[in-house]
Each structure stands twice: as C-alpha cells, then as structure tokens.
Structure 1
Amino acid sequence: MTFDKSPRLPTHVPAPQHSKSRPVWACAALALLGYHLYNHIRLDVLLPNSAVASGITWWPCPDITTTQCAYLSVPRDYAHPEANDTVSIFMRKIPATVASKDYLGSILINPGGPGGSGNSLALSYGHRMSAVVDGRYDIIGFDPRGVNMTTPRLGCYENEAQAIHASYKQTLLGVPYDSRGSASFPAGTRARMEHAYLTRLNASFTATSLACLENGNRPMLESVSTAYVVQDIERIVDALGEDGLNYWG
C-alpha cells in the first residue's frame, strides 16, 4: 500500500508570471506542484462531525454540492473488533438522476492501485459513469483504509509538505509507467532505460516504506489489507440496505 493519498478538491491556483526566457519545463514543474498542493487540501475538516457514524448519513459535499459525502464507521481489526477502535471510511456519491420507479440501486467504484482514491474517481469520472448506466444507479466512490480521506491516516510523513514532496517526486519519475517502453528506441536502449527507471522507482517506494516504518500509525499499518477492504465493502453494502454488491473497478 502506498502512503496516504490526498483529497482532490477543486481550487484555483493563480498562474505564475514567467518571463519568455524561462524554459517550458519550469512551467510544467510549477503546474505539477500546484496539482499536488491541490490534492492535499483537507476536506474532512469541512464536513459536519455527525457525518461520522455507524450508519450512513449523506451530506452535500462542501466542495461540490451536487455530490454527497459521508463516513461509515467500521472495525479497524475485524479479527478483534472493539467499539472504540474503528476506521471511518469516506465516501462520495453521484446520485442517480432517474425517477424512483427506474432506480436500480448503487454501484461502488474503486480505481485499484493499490492506494487509489474512489472518492477522487467519483469526483473526476462519476458523472460519466452515471451516464453509461443512464443515471439509474447511485455511483459511490470510497477511499479504502489508509487512503486519502479515510481516517485514521497512515501517518507515514511527519507533515503535509513531506507527503507532497514524495508524491511530486513520483510524478517526476513518470508514475504510472509503461513497462514496454517506447517502440521508437532499439530494444537494448529500451531495456537500459527501463532498468534505470525501475531502479529509481524502487528507491522511491523503499523510501516511502521506511517512512511508514519510522513514523507511521502502526495499528493502521497492520490493518491495511485486501481482505479487510473486502469486509469494508460488505459493511458499506449492508449499510446501504442493498441485497448484493454492484462493483465497478
């Protein structure tokens, strides 16, 4: 699992003034930095406290009020559940647009990764997904435990600046990367480029892992797994009151 993913909120980053003599890559670097600053804005501080509950109470999202946000409380450790030891799963819903007689339920979406934010996926593509199913389903994106808006956070970095810097470095590496390389280069050149890239990428991910070991929330790190995310999904479906799971991811 990668380090904590960050909230995606619409914000305006004023365009910096550049002289014509500055290279184009400087503009791109500033744009990427603005993108990562944008991604680390906290949405949870804007939500009402009552949104964190054992059931699902939907609220208009503070950033995009045509979408709905909620938290669902689930056990941190399903093997040894305790009432005061929970994880709050953050969700964003794109409501169905049809009349109730044509409504078919909910579809949960998740981009995978691992470590991708379903909340961000819903924000970016939820309306397109809704159009594919003719608006007959609620499209619900959730942040898996350890990701983005879901709490407690993994806490691998001492502050937001360190997290932004680490994320930015991965962007500079070109994540995600096409392992086949470019067909325009000879095979030997591609192999050398890919090896050099993977060496840098491994160093970046190793640094993230070490940061988690040094600073991270150990109980949460021990509770981040595919098996537990599956059980979280089951809890979401139960809380929605639906008979089965519709999943798109």
Structure 2
Amino acid sequence: MPRPLTAAVAAALTALLLAACVPERAQITPSDDSVPTSIPSTTASSGLDVYDQTVDWSACGVLECATIQVPVDWTDPTGPTTDLAINRSAATDPANRIGSLLINPGGPGGSGLDLTEYFVSSAGEDLLAAYDVIGFDPRGVGQSSPLQCGDADVIDTYYLTDLVLETEGAIEDARQATVDFAAGCRELSGPLIENVDTTSAARDMDVIRALLGDDELYYLGFSYGTQLGATYAALYPENVGRMVLDGAVDFLLDGEQVAIEQAEGFERSLGNFAEWCLASADDCPLTGTVEQAKAQVKEIALHARDTGYQNSDGDRVNGNELVYGIVVTLYDEGSWPYLSAALQEVADRGTADIFFQLANFYLDKDSSSGEYLSNSMWSFTAIGCLDGPVSEPTTVDSLADFTAQISQASPTFGWWFAGSLGCDGWPWEAKEPVTSLEATADAAPILVVGTTNDPATPYSWAESLTERLGDATLLTYDGEGHTAYGRSNQCIIDAVDGYLVDGEMPVSGTTC
C-alpha cells in the first residue's frame, strides 16, 4: 500500500516542475552568543543513562540542531546506543513560552528535520509564540543513523518492478525477493533494522521530552505521526500533555481492511479529480462521465504496466511509476493540474515525462541522476513491516480473494494494490507492539483531526481512532486532501491552536 505523504510534501508539489531546494542542516559553530549551546536534562524515574544526557545545540541555517543518543534496542535499554537527530525553532515569545512542541510528518519514513522549517512558515502565530517547535528524524530515518538497503539499482528492482502474481512460483519469487532485500538491509544497517518499530520511536520521544525539560509531551503528528502519538499515549499516558493527531491512522485495524479502505480513498479522490477536470471542458484530457474518465486513467496505467511509455530520455515508465505519479497528485487538490497535464501529455504525444517526474517526487528520487535523495522508501518498509501483525503466507487463492475485494473497492487501483505481497517474507517483527489503546484512558484529552475526502488516511479512521482513545475529540475538515492543519483553512488553525495554546478543546462535532 502506498505510504501516506505529509502535508509538507503535498504542498511542495507546487515547486515540482520549477526547482528543488533543501535547507542546509549541517551543524556549524554559533556566531551569536545568544544561541544556547546546551540545556539541562531531566532524569527519568527509570534512572536510564539516556535520560541524563546534555543536549548541545548548534546553529544550522535558521534553526538549531543537535544529536542525542537512544538505545538501539529498548528491550536492552542499557546496551548500545544510536544517534537521533533533532532541530528546534525557538518560541517567538519567550516570556510566555509553554514548552516544546514535537512534530512528526508521517510516512513512516518522513523526516521531521525537513518538516520544521516548512511548519514554522505555515503554523498559527499564537502557536509559534508559545512553543519551541522540535523536529526529529525517527530512528533509522534521515539523519538519525539512517537505514541503508543498497544502491539505486537495488532499490529500483525491489520497489519499481511490475509484478504479475498469478502463480505459486511468482508468489514464491516475490517472497524470496523480500527475504533477500531484508538481508541486504541487515548487512548494511546492522541490528537497528530490527528495532525501528513505532514503539521504539515513541520511547525515543519520551527521552526527547525529558531532555528538553518538559514534564509533559506536547505533540502534533500528521498521518503516520498519529500512530506514533497514539502509541506514546498508550505507553506513557501520565506524560501526555496537549496532543493533536491530524490525518489519523487507525493502526489496530486488520491489514487487509486498511488496504481496502485506503484504495477506496484514492478511488474517491480520483473521481473528485475527474469531476473537476471534466468541468473544465476543453482543458481536460478525459471525456465522458466520471466513471468513463476513471476507466481511461486505468487503461493508461495498465498500458504502462504491460507495454510502458517513454520519458524524454527514452527510458521506460512502467505501471508502478505511473501509478505513483497519479497517487502523489491526489494528496492535495492544488496538485490536480499536474495530473491533468500528465494525462494530456500521454494523450498528445504518447510519452509520460511528467508522470516520470511526479513518480520520482513521490519516491524522493532525482530524475536526472536516478539517485534517491532520502531513505524514506525503505524506512517505510522496515518500520511498517515491524509494526504489522504476522499473517499467513500468501497463496494464489488468498491473493485472488484479496484482489477481488480490493478491485471492487477500487476499480482503478485495485490491481496495483494487489500487485505486491506487502510484508510477506519480512523476517522481523516488533518486540513490544502496542495492541490496545485502553491505557490512554489515563492520558490528557487528545484532539483528532480528520479530513472528509482524505485519500491516504480515510475519514473513517479518524472516527475509529477517536473512539479507541480514552478521552478524545474529533475535529473535522470538510474538504479534499491529506491532513488539514496548515493546508486547509483558518478555522482548523484556530481550533488546533486554541487547544495547543489555550487548552480549549473544540466542541465535539465541530466541522470546518
């Protein structure tokens, strides 16, 4: 299943075909004595050494950066440690500062360091005045002892090869490919690959909280970041301060149900795109009804799988790449013109250069060199497969049954969702998975935000996660796209900031 992207990634699509810019994050020596070089640590009741560190901040562009240590394996908390990279944007009103607000962009595999600068450009002024905004790359991600799984050719072969899984032999080959890929990751990444699960990342967040001097965790998580936040609340309910979960992932649902409901979400969003496109008359490359337009998109995707399109360099754009190029534009309605332009190119010239660029944007891959710009793809796999419940090995019959169900839910994308074995063959599972949220009954109230037409994290997940959490309120954004805060409207900003800054929970049932 495709990885939910973050609000920052969706917004950045506006610059996709124009330019790319990554803020400098290298630590440098502060040139201003006003920049603090360290903060006092808080010792946890557990007495673990990792709670006794000193955080040494240094300037990195407009932010401050630091690296702390956390246990590689939280079941052996006094054993070897690994790096965790964090950054900070200081509160604009230090006299009325509440504390530190940890943020997470989702994925799993998204870089919290990358999110911070975007976040402070889009968040509400009251929130930025009251909190130091703290970004962090979760263990194994980005600059936090990043997982490695091979060069670009290895990654391309594993993620971009179009598979037709119609025989037991094809299924066994796909399973063995996962076994071999995981073995390569283990060889290059060491034991960390077995310990990048969400429970471990949540325990890391408690270390961050303590080292920043906060008695409670203030937190805003997007997409997969909602799973991370809910997991923290289950592990440390007494430490939860004000927590907002935007674009909820109900990670306690059955895996097949998650895939089917997400496929439905993308099908619905594609239909909404088609309706918008057809209303633009001569400017739309699709024709007929909404259902006919979606069928045309499916035909293009299947042609890419079976025959392929060329990009401007003469390289083949296959089915996986073309669907990635479609999916990435459905995270925000502001990106729909890119999908229209890509479809128009296929119709006019029979090439798929725009789809190729869009797919590489999704993959965080440089279109010119073919090199991956981050490790988000394989981090997504490593984290998600550790978290996922162990299921029975896939067979021709079980895959055929799943294909029938998901194709009914999503006629356009069902074949694509069924073209992978997911985590079948991944050799490890989380050592301390959170399988219940009952403990959150002892946590402070939590605000869940759901978007009615969210393709990646359907609104129904926001409803069910709200019900699972001990004391939670659901805030609804009636609109398109993935997540709401910072990309929807002022109503959402006011409601979220009202809770995080003033402690005023929105009235249950509030819709923006």
Instruction: Tell me the TM-score normalized by structure 1.
Output: 0.58
How far apart, CA to CA, are the structure 2 residues paired with 1:57 and 1:128?
27
Q: Do structure 1's residue 68 and structure 2's residue 64 form an aligned pair?
A: yes
Q: Secondary structure at the match of 1:107?
A: strand
Q: Do structure 1's residue 140 and structure 2's residue 165 form an aligned pair?
A: no
How far apart, CA to CA, are the structure 2 residues paired with 1:209 and 1:148?
24
Q: Which has the larger radius of gyration?
A: 2
Q: CA 1:208/1:133 → structure 2, altered by over 3 Å: closer, same or farther?
A: farther
Q: CA 1:94/1:155 → structure 2, altered by over 3 Å: closer, same or farther?
A: same
Counterpart in 2 of 1:59?
58
- In the alignment, structure 1 segments of 5+ residues that lack a partner are 3-26, 174-195
**1:13-162 to 2 correspondence within 5 Å?**
28=17, 35=20, 43=25, 46=27, 54-61=53-60, 64=61, 66-82=62-78, 85-100=80-95, 102-129=96-123, 131=125, 133-151=127-145, 153-158=146-151, 162=152
Counterpart in 2 of 1:222?
194
Identity, % of aligned positions:
30
How far apart, CA to CA, are the structure 2 residues paired with 1:47 and 1:208?
40
Contact (CA 8 Å) 1:94, 1:130: kept in 2 or not? no
Runs of 4+ in 1 over 3 A off after TM superposition: 41-44, 196-199, 206-212
Q: Do structure 1's residue 248 and structure 2's residue 226 form an aligned pair?
A: no
Q: Secondary structure at the match of 2:105?
A: coil
Q: CA 1:104/1:80 → structure 2, altered by over 3 Å: closer, same or farther?
A: same
Note the aligned Cα RMSD (angstroms).
Answer: 4.1
How far apart, CA to CA, are the structure 1 residues paired with 2:216 and 2:93?
21
CA distances 1:116-157 after superposition (whole Å, capped 9, x unpaired)? 111111022223226251521101110000100112x21212
Instruction: Tell me the TM-score normalized by structure 2.
Output: 0.30
Aligned pair partner of 1:236 in 197, 203, 208: 208
Quote how far apart the aligned CAs of 1:223 are: 1.0
Contact (CA 8 Å) 1:109, 1:142: kept in 2 or not? yes
Supply the AA of the counterpart residue of 1:213.
A
- In the alignment, structure 2 segments of 5+ residues that lack a partner are 3-15, 30-36, 39-51, 166-173, 222-512
Contact (CA 8 Å) 2:120, 2:128: kept in 1 or not? no
How far apart, CA to CA, are the structure 2 residues paired with 1:198 and 1:98?
57
Bigger mean CA deviation after superposition, 91-100 or 123-132: 123-132
How far apart, CA to CA, are the structure 2 residues paired with 1:149 and 1:58?
15
Q: Comparing both structures, which one devotes a greater share of its residues to helix?
A: 2
